[in-house]
Structure 1
Amino acid sequence: MEELYTLEREVGRGSYGVVFEGQMAKTGNTVAIKRLPCSNPECVELYLQELWAMRATAKNHVNVIALHSCLLQTGPRSLRPLKPGKLPLRLVESVLKGNVVGAQEGQERRNVQSNGLRRTNSASRFQDKTNTVQARAKLQDVVKSNDSSTPRRPLNRARKRSAQSEDEQDAPPRCLALWLVMEYCDGGDLNQFLLSQPPDAQRNHSVVLQLCSAVAFLHGLGITHRDLKPDNVLVCVTPKSPIIKVADFGLSKMSDGTASGDPTRQRFSSTCGSDFYMAPEVWGGLSYTAQADIFSLGVLFWAVLERITFLEEGSTQEQLGAYVCKGRSGWLIPLGEALWENADLQLCIPVKFRRAPPLPPAPGPATCALLLDMLAADPDARPLANQLESRVRSALNEDCH
């Protein structure tokens, strides 16, 4: 690894892997390096989806994270670059067979060794130290918030993607991990960046417009992200203005829906995403299209423009997100869940309940109308991604005048 890149420090850790800040050995340029351990076929499938989507986007849009290269790890110190357009066949085989290719052969080999046959030199023990994640918990309907000025998200509501991690055992050469080398974003994620400084309407408008452009680009390629949220939006700080980057394509799906001119033709069925940003049709277990991304953007835009936050379970770190507040005690219900239960629910934009100051100016009537369209319970009533940027610009200009 040292011949190609130097790992400087860990900058992020999630359900599936670890992200490091690193440097290219030849140029000294700073990069982000994401290690994805190939411990089970479910994880491998997500990794291949992410790799395929990032290769499709390449470096073609300023607001989508750029993939520089991908390396395949077959031993403790054995890495090789993957050729563009190629996938590691052993990983594809793992997904198709439903078990990690090479694991069974390794067990048979150890059985032979234990019977007194000649031992051969094997790779040194290789272990993955990523987080162990519990299976998806069943959602509760209502949970009381605490008395702080920032509402706290309900307990046990998480509907984020999850997977179990396993320690890698010594085995014949096989795919131990994928390493994705990407551009490095020094501003952190959107939560960290926006909530670390006073509200600024012009900055908020820039964030919203850049996200519109990124999602229009992805949908134009037939890519549905399926997990748009502030955690998956990164920020590059520049002297002029921050540059927003959509990242984390592990749950994304690619389709040929644009071939017929209709980007919403392809339908999906698996329930995935993060609860406070999931569309009503996803909550209800219905089939859905790329329009679910537009709902997620609507939640994100509302939170950014009004600086609406909640607290993640077990954390003191504020998160951007809009929701329905029920009852005197202020129970927090995700918008998608609330609209699934009651499609006629009237959302109040701007929000009128208690929030932590300082607050930005409330959205104008044109922006409020657009947000309501993006958050429509009926997916067909939401604007298409290729219409969104022009509609946002028009609404912001109208409200400014």
Structure 2
Amino acid sequence: MEELYTLEREVGRGSYGVVFEGRMAKTGQKVAIKRLPCSNPECVELYLQELWAMRTTARNHVNVIALHSCLLQTGSRSLKTLKPGKLPLRLVESVLKGSVVAAKQSQERTNPQSNTRRRTNSGSRLQDRTNTVQARAHLQNKDESNASDSTTPQRPQSRVRKRPAPREEEQTAPLRCLALWLVMEYCDGGDLNQYLLSRPPDAQRNHSVVQQLCSAVAFLHSLGITHRDLKPDNVLVCVMPKGPVVKVADFGLSKMSEGSVDGGLTRQHFSSTCGSDFYMAPEVWGGLTYTAQADIFSLGVMFWAVLERITFLEEGTTQEQLGAYVCKGRSGWLMPLGEALWENADAPAAPPPGPATCALLLEMLASNPDARPTADQLGARVRSALREDSH
């Protein structure tokens, strides 16, 4: 292993892993390090999908998060670097068999001199300086400081549909295959929610963000990658002197096909209902098969929210989020656009930006996936609409 990484602090935690801020010991370069515990085959499959997608994108696009390296944890604190283009066979075996393969058993099957192999592959070690209690307190204080006033529309908790958390027995089961560590570029601006909502509205900044997102998704679709969970939480921001540079991240739900056809529209069909409810397309809500055009709908929701600064609160949270929705009834109950369109194709009213941008957004949010522009068409269409409305 070439570098030694130092963990500085925890910066994010979700159902599937923990993200740390860290540094390369030799250069001092700041990096983001995501630890993905390999506790069950379902999680392992998501991790391998994310790894494969990030390796495919490599460092070839400025608006897609860059992967520096991937490490396989083989002991309590020992790691080894995975070679480019290679997947850890032990984890692939776990996915195929439907159960996590114990590291010791796997090594004994592949090499009778397992003890020798463990010594030669022990690799370098992560210097963990993380204080979990302080990190959690820091994140809690940050959430409280960002709390919005009580007039901000709230989303009922009972209707939230996001990635399912691992079952309790899976979380408490002993880890026999330990973890994957993804070392990625560090984004100092946080996610898109944090970055935009902590600053005054700025039309030029908003236009730059939506155009960069167009470019990123066109690049992913050209490689046959459908993200399937596009939302502001999964867009990170690097603060640069000339303005923000956004990075599409979190490829755990992504799917890859052999490539794109017909000008960028992949014909690969998917059936799994996944994503986050405020950004899911109608066909996903309805349990139908869908294509990469579901990503275009998610972008439409994000663009509308970014351009008009539309926000909401999830029930039980204090973090304001960007997202468009339909208000139902006198109580102002919030319904995601995709759900509303699945129930009634004429549900959303025309969004309020200028007429050219309004027309484009309505196309992106069409209930018929084939009526939406493809990713490779979108960049030019967005630039033209924003230019026309600015005049």
Interval containing the TM-score (normalised by the shorter chain): 0.7 to 0.9
**CA distance 1:205–1:10, shift in 2 (3 Å):** same
User: 2:179: which partner in 1?
Assistant: 177
- State the alpha-carbon separation in 1 of the partners of residues 370 and 263 from structure 2: 15
User: 1:142: which partner in 2?
Assistant: none
SS at 2:367 equivalent: coil
Partners of 1:257 and 1:263 within 8 A in 2: no
**2:100 aligned with 1:100, yes or no?**
yes
User: 1:309: which partner in 2?
Assistant: 311
Partners of 2:39 and 2:171 within 8 A in 1: yes
- State the alpha-carbon separation in 2 of the partners of residues 57 and 2 from structure 1: 22
1:22-61 equivalent positions in 2, closer than 5 A: 22-61=22-61
1:2-401 equivalent positions in 2, closer than 5 A: 4-102=4-102, 148-164=150-166, 165-167=170-172, 169=174, 175-258=177-260, 263-350=265-352, 363-401=353-391
Task: Please tell me the residue identity of whatever aligns with 1:59.
Answer: R
Task: Please tell me the residue identity of whatever aligns with 1:70.
Answer: C
CA displacement 1:100-152 (0-9 Å, x = unmatched): 1118969xxxxxxxxxxxxxxxx9xxxxxx9xxxxxxxxxxxxxxx9932100
Task: Please tell me the residue identity of whatever aligns with 2:174.
Answer: Q
Extract unaligned runs of 5+ from structure 2.
107-121, 123-131, 133-147
Runs of 4+ in structure 1 deviating by more than 6 angstroms, as ranges, are none
Q: CA deviation at 1:313?
A: 2.3
- State the alpha-carbon separation in 2 of the partners of residues 347 and 182 from structure 1: 40
Give the TM-score normalised by the residue count of structure 1: 0.84
Alignment: residue pair count = 350
Q: CA deviation at 1:168?
A: 5.5
- State the alpha-carbon separation in 1 of the partners of residues 2 and 373 from structure 2: 48
SS at 2:16 equivalent: coil
Task: Please tell me the residue identity of whatever aligns with 2:343.
Answer: E
Q: CA deviation at 1:198?
A: 0.5
More helix by share: 2
SS at 2:72 equivalent: strand
CA displacement 1:2-33 (0-9 Å, x = unmatched): 96100000000011000000000111100000
Partners of 1:304 and 1:320 within 8 A in 2: yes
SS at 1:383 equivalent: coil
Moved more, 195-204 or 307-316: 307-316
Give the TM-score normalised by the residue count of structure 2: 0.86
**CA distance 1:367–1:45, shift in 2 (3 Å):** same
Partners of 1:2 and 1:25 within 8 A in 2: no
SS at 1:237 equivalent: strand
Task: Please tell me the residue identity of whatever aligns with 1:293.
Answer: D
Extract unaligned runs of 5+ from structure 1.
107-122, 124-129, 131-145, 351-362
Task: Please tell me the residue identity of whatever aligns with 1:284.
Answer: G
Q: CA deviation at 1:314?
A: 1.1
Task: Please tell me the residue identity of whatever aligns with 1:6.
Answer: T
Partners of 2:162 and 2:275 within 8 A in 1: yes
SS at 2:302 equivalent: helix
**CA distance 1:103–1:162, shift in 2 (3 Å):** farther
Task: Please tell me the residue identity of whatever aligns with 2:242.
Answer: K
Partners of 2:228 and 2:295 within 8 A in 1: yes
**CA distance 1:310–1:260, shift in 2 (3 Å):** closer
- State the alpha-carbon separation in 2 of the partners of residues 376 and 78 from structure 1: 50
Identity %: 82
Partners of 1:222 and 1:263 within 8 A in 2: no
Q: CA deviation at 1:262?
A: 5.4
- State the alpha-carbon separation in 2 of the partners of residues 153 and 170 from structure 1: 36
